[in-house]
Amino acid sequence: MERKTKVSAEDGKQEIIITREFDLPLELLFRAYEEPGIIEQWMGTKVLKLENRKHGSWQFETSDPQGNIVFKADGVIHEFVPNSKITRTFEMANAPFGVQLELLQFESVTDETSKLSIHTIFESVALRDQMLKLPFAAGINMAHNRLQEIVNKLK
C-alpha cells in the first residue's frame, strides 16, 4: 500500500514533521479538526473544551471502560485561520514530555484532495526522541495485554 503519511524526524533536531494527503476536500479535512463531535469520532477522545479562536484554549480527555482517565491533554490556541492554519500548544498531563508547539497547515491539492502538515516543536531533542518512542512503548504494552488475554482464555 502507498505510504500516505510521512514522518520526518531528523537526528539531533527537536522537531517532528508529519505530512499526509487526504482524499477529502480541504473544507472537510479542516472540519475534522474544528468540530468537537467529529474530533471525538476519529481521535477516540472526549473533547472537554475547544475554543477555535486566537487565545482560545482546548482540553481533551480519554477514559478506559472502567472510567479511569488514561489520557489528558490541553493547550492554548495561538492562531486559528479556517481552512488554512491552526497554531496551538499541546501538553499531556502527568507525562514527562513538556509542552509542544504545533503548527498545523491545511492546503487544498485538488477539489477532492487536500494536504495536512503538522510541524511539532519540542522543548529538547531528548523529549522529542522520548515522544517518538511512545507508540513503541504503548505497542509493548498492547502486545502484552493481548498475550495476557490469550493466556487468560487458556486458563
Partner 1 sequence: MNLRRDVFQAIADPTRRAILLLVASQSMTAGAIAANFDSARPTVSKHLQILTECDLLEQEQSGREIYYHLNPKKMKEVADFVEVFRNMWDERFNKLEAVMKNYKPKK
Contact residues for partner 1, defined by CB under 8 A:
3-7, 9, 11, 18, 20, 22-24, 28-29, 31-32, 38, 41-43, 116, 126, 129-130, 132-137, 139-141, 143-144, 147-148
Min. distance of Cβ 55 from partner 1 in angstroms?
Answer: 26
111 CB neighbour count, 10 Å cutoff: 8
> How far is it, in rounded angstroms, from Cα 19 to Cα 130?
20
**Residue 70: CB minimum distance to partner 1, A:** 14
Which residue carries 469520532 as its cell?
41
* Site of grid cell 468540530: 35
Q: Taking the mean position of all CA atoms in its chain, how far away is CA 126?
A: 19
Q: Indicate the residue among 18 and 50 with the shorter CB distance to partner 1.
A: 18
Whole-number minimum distance, CB 7 to partner 1, in Å?
4
54 or 145: whose CB is closer to partner 1?
145
Measured on CA atoms in the order 80, 83, 89, 94, is the torsion positive or negative? Answer: positive
Nearer to partner 1, 55 or 147 (CB): 147
Question: In the bound complex, what is the minimum distance in angstroms from residue 120's beta carbon to partner 1?
Answer: 11
Residue 102 in contact with residue 120, Cβ under 8 Å? yes
Q: Between 109 and 134, whose beta carbon lies closer to partner 1?
A: 134
- Look at residue 81 and give its three-state secondary structure: strand
